[in-house]
Amino acid sequence: METAFQPRLIRVAVPVPLHGGFDYLTRNDMPVATVGMRVLVQFGRRKLVGVIVAVDVQSDVAAKRLRAIDAVLDDSPVFDAGQLRLLRWAARYYHCPLGEALATALPVALRKTRTDKAQSRHRGWQAVASSEAAATTNLSRAPKQRLLLDCIAASGTAIAHSSLLARFGAVTAQLNALEKRGLITAVELPGGLEQGVAGTAPALTAEQQAAMQALYQAGDGFAPALLEGVTGSGKTEIYFQRMATVLASGRQVLFLAPEIGLTPQLIERVRSRFAAAIGVLHSQRSEGERADVWRAARAGDADIVVGTRSAVFTPMPKLGLIIVDEEHDGSYKQQDGFRYHARDVALRRAQLAAIPIVLGSATPALESLHNAEAARYAHVRLANRATGAVMPPINVIDVRSRPLLGGLSEPLLARIEPHLAAGNQVMIFINRRGFAPKLICHDCGWVAPCVRCDAPLTLHGGISRLQCHHCGAAEIAPKKCPACSSEQLLALGAGTERVAGALRSRFPQVAIARFDRDSMARKGRLEAQLADVASGATQLLVGTQMLAKGHDFARLTCVGVLDVDGGLFSADFRAAEHMAQLVTQVAGRAGRAQRPGEVWLQTRHPEHPLLQRLLSGGYAGFAQAALSERREADLPPFGHLALLRAEAHGEAEPMNFLSAAAAEVAQDAHLACWGPVPAPMQRRAGRYRAHLLLHAMDRHKLHPALDHWQQVLPDVPGASRVRWSIDVDPQDLL
């Protein structure tokens, strides 16, 4: 008994940019501290929340210099052994200090310096009678109660009061009446979760059945599969049926979706299929809700967790399957701090847990295709749409020397018209928000610049405001050219706002909705607008990437893509891949049900080989050609890259720093420094930026060099004036 109260020496990972753990002592008056619990510690002058990564360690620090921790914040570990193992691996792989990686993995509410609140609870309802008895109860005079009782009884478990309100409107009185009749009873549910209801699955198409077979054949151990299915091929249905067998065995499912792919429609599909406890994690949920989902998942109460990037770290003790939907999506890569790729972390997680993982996409990343071709993943294909709908033909409109009305050419407007007249829906895609990307002086050619970035300012609110899309700077647009005083200032090019305006004046009778980050700033707005599209109230949709993926609108028959040219001429070697994915995804929104669809691309480069390849061979043909180009150039997925970024207030400092870093790379025929070079956008938010790429054909060669950098770079001359970071498998090279 005595020993339990002895101070213990523990090692704590704290969220600071320093590698290694820090040693502390516990105090006798504290609850027992074990690995995976959070503690509050004094670190320098700050109090920080850290995570215990080891106990009873041998410390190099002299005993009398060791400090005691301030408090133990949990009574059970927030990270279990499996999570810690995964995060240790990820911290090593991405060369991020473990403390920062652990802090990033925690929900924001748990990064704070207070003790963990207990899981919040909320009210739910459960049927008392069996569903047969419920069915025979006479409620013919109370149809609402009938509906509610059937719904609750059919679920087989408890349903949250709030989700009943969400589905059936104001039904509190009816629920109380059912309780009075002794048909249902109130229960407490863990906060953060929603109870789904059992729904019926459609009979699978022959192709889907074959895909299911292939997934089952891959087995129940670690079995990665790439599900490559054209848009509308019913991949979601495959995920669901695979999930059903895992849930039936009492295990948990983690379903990852990109931020813009995690639509209300997807969540509703999950909710109305599985009589399971569902936790949803995305950026619009409050800190408290996210912490609740985390706790419920950790307790094993959440059967399904649906979430975006960081949900990959949700603790799930009974995890039996991971789904990564739209696995090619760039939003899976975190772009600052702990720069992990959620798909790749998910793969590792599945491997450590020895469970299957399904990566799904209509446009798989070249990395994933390569892995499938190398037989590291099972390659499961769906070539046809599940509804029997044909793939929409993709046509090109050459807009060279054609006048554009708010970015729209006359031929495109003429194509749109009959679809609207027939009562169908039309989607116009443009990957640029705001009114216009430039304000230019007609007399002298001056372009309104951002003073802090090497980029022009974007017009917003018509020609009234200017905003920088890189640093956020905003100002009132000038009335006169500051260079020549001319009043001939023109908006050049078009963004969503201008396109929507032009469509409004051309089709004044038609209801138009704009989907971009600006119009979606308010919470609930996206849901409301999507509901109007689903009901048919909105006929014309204008938007950015937000519209590209996942949506399934039966009446949408025509898609216009306004500007594909950006992806054809970019400094980033991945730009063409991203362009092909985007065009294919956007095009895939058309003609998904009974009504056939068509797609129109506006371009000034109709003969460009990349575009031609995509049009003639589809995404698969494009990908094959792109893969052989990557092979030729030793680029990923054949070669491997890490990017060292540096930025500073002075122009010379980042380049000097990176040159010193390049000199630290050991002479090795299998390791090459590409650069340093100034970044394509050299100045951003007032800082000059430069890059150095480290390249190796063998991934394992990269890591020792990166370890070495981490040790020596802080002491390179001038390092203190430079902000630098390492990005392993960088996705964004601009």
Ligand X SMILES: Nc1ncnc2c1ncn2[C@@H]1O[C@H](COP(=O)(O)OP(=O)(O)OP(=O)(O)O)[C@@H](O)[C@H]1O
Q: How many residues does the chain have?
A: 734
Q: What's the closest the beta carbon of residue 506 comes to ligand X, in angstroms? A: 29
**229 touching ligand X, by CB under 6 A:** yes
- The per-type count for the chain, helices as H runs and strands as E runs, is 19, 33
611 binds, among Zn ion, ligand X, none (CB under 5 to 8 A by kind): none
As given in the structure block, the two tokens for residue 411 are 């031929």
**By CB under 6 A, how many residues form the interface with ligand X?**
20
What is the enclosing helix (H) or strand (E) of 128?
none
**363 touching ligand X, by CB under 6 A:** no
**232 touching ligand X, by CB under 6 A:** yes
Closer Cβ to ligand X, 229 or 392, answer by number: 229
**What count of Cα atoms within 13 Å lies in the side-chain half-sphere of residue 558?**
21
Q: What's the closest the beta carbon of residue 547 comes to ligand X, in angstroms? A: 12
| Annotated binding residue 453 | yes
| Annotated binding residue 673 | no
204 binds, among ligand X, Zn ion, none (CB under 5 to 8 A by kind): ligand X
Which whole-number Å values give the CA distances from 734 to 236, 491, 651, 671, 689, in the listed order?
Answer: 33, 25, 17, 22, 10
Query: Could you tell me the sign of the dihedral formed by the alpha carbons of 650, 652, 656, 662, in that order?
Result: positive
48 binds, among ligand X, Zn ion, none (CB under 5 to 8 A by kind): none
Give the residues lining the site for Zn ion (CB under 5 A): 450, 452-453, 468, 470-471, 473
The Cα–Cα gap between 677 and 153 comes to: 65
Residues 6 or more apart whose CB falls under 8 angstroms from that of 426 comprise 416, 419, 420, 539, 540, 541, 556, 557, 558, 559, 560
| Annotated binding residue 484 | yes
450 binds, among Zn ion, ligand X, none (CB under 5 to 8 A by kind): Zn ion
| Annotated binding residue 471 | yes
453 binds, among ligand X, Zn ion, none (CB under 5 to 8 A by kind): Zn ion
308: alpha, beta or left? (left if phi > 0; alpha if psi -120 to 50)? beta
**Where does this chain touch ligand X (CB under 6 A) — which range of 30-38, 197-205, 216-224, 560-568?**
197-205
Q: What's the closest the beta carbon of residue 383 comes to ligand X, in angstroms? A: 11
**236 touching ligand X, by CB under 6 A:** yes
Determine which residue in the list 15, 36, 493, 588 makes contact with ligand X, applying CB under 6 A: 588
Q: What binding mask, one character per residue, do residues 303-342 give for ligand X by CB under 6 A, x or -?
A: ----------------------------------------
| Annotated binding residue 96 | no
**552 touching ligand X, by CB under 6 A:** yes
- Of residues 521, 511, 565, the one with CA closest to residue 546: 521
Checking DSSP bridges between strand 512-515 and strand 22-25, what pairing results, if any?
Answer: unpaired
Closer Cβ to Zn ion, 470 or 605, answer by number: 470
**What count of Cα atoms within 13 Å lies in the side-chain half-sphere of residue 107?**
28
Whether the Cβ atoms of residue 346 and residue 328 lie closer than 8 Å to each other: no
550 binds, among ligand X, Zn ion, none (CB under 5 to 8 A by kind): ligand X
- Of residues 636, 627, 650, 628, the one with CA closest to residue 693: 636
The Cα–Cα gap between 256 and 343 comes to: 9
Site for ligand X in 378-407 (CB under 6 A): 386-387
**204 touching ligand X, by CB under 6 A:** yes
Closer Cβ to Zn ion, 470 or 708, answer by number: 470
| Annotated binding residue 558 | no
32: alpha, beta or left? (left if phi > 0; alpha if psi -120 to 50)? beta
As given in the structure block, the two tokens for residue 672 are 């090459």
Q: Which residues participate in the annotated binding site for Zn(2+)? A: 441, 444, 450, 453, 468, 471, 481, 484
Per CB under 6 A, residues contacting ligand X are 202-205, 208, 229, 231-237, 362, 386-387, 550, 552, 588, 592
